Amino acid sequence: MIKYIKKEHFVNELSQFAKIKILGNDQNTFSDISNLDDIKNNSLIYVSEIRFFEIACNSRASAIIIPYTLEEKAKEIIKIDPVKTFILYENPKLLFTYATSFFKKRIPNYGIDKSVITKSNLDETNVEINPYVTIGENVVIEKDVIIDSFVSIGDNCIIKEGTIIFSGVKIYENCEIGKNCIIHANTVIGADGFGFVSNGENYQKIEHLGRVIIEDNVEIGANCSIDRATLGETRIKKGTKIDNLVQIAHNVTIGENSIICAQVGIAGGAKIGKQVTFAGQVGVSDHAIVEDNVIVGAQAGLTTKKYEKNSFLLGTPAIDAMKFKKSIVLFSQLPDIVKKLYEIENLMNEIKNKSKD
């Protein structure tokens, strides 16, 4: 069960997440969080840049997270208004992100609804399974798992501790979901990959006999498809975050702590390294190799080749970002360049004709 919690918190409670420094009233509290566009009374906000500092200071917020670079500015404000509270941390947005967990808790309401259809022996004292879920044979569901309504889980699956599966998710047979994963609504894990071989007249389906493994602390958005391997496994490694509407084909491997944004498509057999970032609508060809720490800009296309670690890529086919930017500048100048070439050509023709005279 997902609960939204309204409760007052002391600013020093943020020290449980990170080493912080508090300026001003260290007994101050906050009961909400806000962004700078809509700052609520008695809320916590953050500021990363000096250009937003004055807006934050003049707001109704009870506490403001700021970087150490704004410490002297904050001290000047406190001299005028001692009840103000500033929380100093090197990465304000990160500390603010930690704080959001105060207001949204995932608390299992242990039990298995009467409408659940299951062929597996499950312990209803330490899992939450909501109405109209279907569960196949030999399924293992570990403690503190929350399964929302209308989820389908095939035979021989493993769902590990603390994972949350939202409504309408389909997990085919023989798949494994790690600890503390979040799978959002209507995602499908373990469907057959797109594999067919022509016999000259029609297409013979390749049976996909592998499985999907999702490692710990992975979050998968809504309406994603992660296909099972032809043989072996499709694997999403720990800590990776996948946005909505992403297609991941058979036998793909995605490394640890990668970011896959919306509408990305990754073709079969591609190998993606760790801490890779794909912006929206990136396309990856089959068997492409993307090494660690690569960043790929929106709508780029990766062909079947190897991309070296620490690259920043743009365009289709994807090339080094600086080269791409220079190419775009040149491309925008093409009409003027062509016009100039025509002018030169006409001038040359005039000179040629005069020489004949």
Provide the 3-class DSSP secondary structure of residue 346. helix
What is the Cα–Cα distance from 180 to 80, expressed in whole angstroms? 46
What is the Cα–Cα distance from 107 to 180, expressed in whole angstroms? 13
Q: Measuring CA to CA, which residue among 264, 330, 328 is closest to residue 297?
A: 264
> Which DSSP letter does residue 216 get?
T
What is the Cα–Cα distance from 59 to 136, expressed in whole angstroms? 54
pLDDT of the residue at 357:
62
CB-CB contact of 210 with 227 (8 Å): no
pLDDT of the residue at 2:
67
Give rounded-to-5 percent helix, strand, coil for the chain: 20, 30, 50
| 22 phi/psi in degrees, rounded to 5 | -110, 130
Residue among 9, 208, 250, 287 flagged as catalytic? 250
Burial class (CB in 10 A: 0-12, 13-18, 19+), 139: buried
What is the Cα–Cα distance from 357 to 353, expressed in whole angstroms? 7
pLDDT of the residue at 310:
98
9 tagged catalytic? no
> Is it true that the peptide bond before 317 is cis, omega within 30 degrees of 0?
yes
- Residue type present at position 353: N
Q: Which fold has domain 2-105?
A: 3.40.1390
What is the Cα–Cα distance from 356 to 130, expressed in whole angstroms? 92
Q: Are strands 29-30 and 9-10 parallel, antiparallel or unpaired?
A: antiparallel
Q: Measuring CA to CA, which residue among 138, 135, 133 is closest to residue 166?
A: 133
How is the chain split into domains, by residue range? 2-105, 330-357
Provide the 3-class DSSP secondary structure of residue 75. helix
CB-CB contact of 104 with 43 (8 Å): no
CB-CB contact of 95 with 65 (8 Å): yes
* Rg from Cα positions in the chain: 28
Residues of the chain with pLDDT under 70: 1-2, 356-357
Q: Which helix (H) or strand (E) holds 351?
A: helix 321-356
Q: Are strands 104-106 and 2-4 parallel, antiparallel or unpaired?
A: antiparallel
Q: Measuring CA to CA, which residue among 117, 111, 70 is closest to residue 89?
A: 70
What is the Cα–Cα distance from 94 to 19, expressed in whole angstroms? 12
- Rounded to two decimals, the pTM is 0.89
